Amino acid sequence: MDAKTNALPRPAPQRQTNILSVDVEDYFHVEALAGVVSRDQWSSYASRVESSTHRLLDLFDETGARGTFFILGWVAERYPALVREIVTRGHEPACHSYWHRLVYALTPEAFREDTKRSKGLIEDAAGTAVFGYRAPSYSITAKSLWALDVLAESGFTYDSSIFPIRHDVYGMPDAPRGPFRVQTRCGEITEYPLTTFRLPWARQNMPVGGGGYLRILPVWYTRFGVARALGDGLPLIVYVHPWEIDATQPRIAASLKSRLRHYTNLNRTEGRLRALLRERAFTSFRDGGLAASAPYANLSFEATR
């Protein structure tokens, strides 16, 4: 990576935008449970994604928030009415793959097939084009940057899959912390990394404002991290999964680590999210206007093929 891309220009305060995103998947789709729930068993589980997504839609109406819904193709195929309701209620539909597989575990051909299948299903249900993508478990990393080329080839204009942190499943800690553009072989694509903050004495980025970080970590951590990120001129990109507000979902036997990641504080997520949405205005990637000021970055993605 070009070292110059690590220091992004600080935007003027009036350009700062808060983005709300939802990864629309069911409780049995998650990577934390993939070791005990095979994909050929998905249809045997009682789905709760419709009711949980409706609760999020109601919450967003209550707080005046609009957002981007990264929808699993498997969900769009079975619940097209849910996709249509997301669009009808003013939100942006986007793609979250079909099978919720880690990108770096796929070949480019398998990723291309999965992505195009999911994109087509979501567009058919939504009645509108889809331009955004988010990889399952943020699995576009240094060893799968070829995926950006495939996304551009498939008609996507932006991606939000790179998390500039260290993690055992995902992460690209040296990536820029703010939005940036990449010129692929098939065209330009804008990347929206997930929100991080820095501590003066630490060399690594800290995650904040979404998923397990919003659900599990204390409220003071979220408030502190959000203030630090905004102080650095970064957009706040919040993300949540419908299953994270479903405290009564079935419990699946898995490892202790997986159970802690998946089930901790499910009863607190909705309240924490509501407080965050009441404090700040949120919109979608489509309507946020962040791409116009995003600088170019050289990620040398072709070298990872």
pLDDT at 4 over 60: no
Mean pLDDT of 224-230: 95
Where does the chain show beta strands of DSSP type E? Answer: 18-24, 68-71, 92-95, 132-133, 158-159, 180-184, 187-191, 196-197, 206-207, 236-240
CA distance readout (Å), 245 to 27, 162, 203, 268, 270? 11, 24, 33, 8, 5
- The answer as to whether 124 is a domain residue is yes
- On whether residue 159 sits in a domain, the answer given is yes
pLDDT at position 168, please?
80
2, part of any domain: no
pLDDT score recorded for residue 16: 65
Q: Does the pLDDT value for residue 74 go beyond 50?
A: yes
Whether the per-residue pLDDT at 52 is higher than 70: the answer is yes
pLDDT in tens, 129-157: 999 999 999 999 999 999 999 999 999 99
pTM confidence score: 0.91
pLDDT at 6 exceeding the cut of 80: no
Check which CATH number belongs to the domain holding 266 and give it: 3.20.20.370
Inside any domain, residue 113: yes
Say how many domains are in the chain.
1
Q: Would residue 12 count as lying in a domain?
A: no
Residue 85 lies in a domain: yes
- Dump pLDDT digits (tens) for 239-297: 999 999 999 999 988 888 888 888 899 999 999 999 999 999 999 999 998 988 888 88
Residue 254 included in any domain = yes
- Which tens digits make up the pLDDT trace of 161-184? 999 998 888 889 999 999 999 999
Specify if 10 maps to a domain. Answer: no
- Which residue, among 250, 251, 245, has the nearest Cα to 269 in the 3D structure? 245
AA identity, residue 220: W
Range of the domain at 205: 17-304
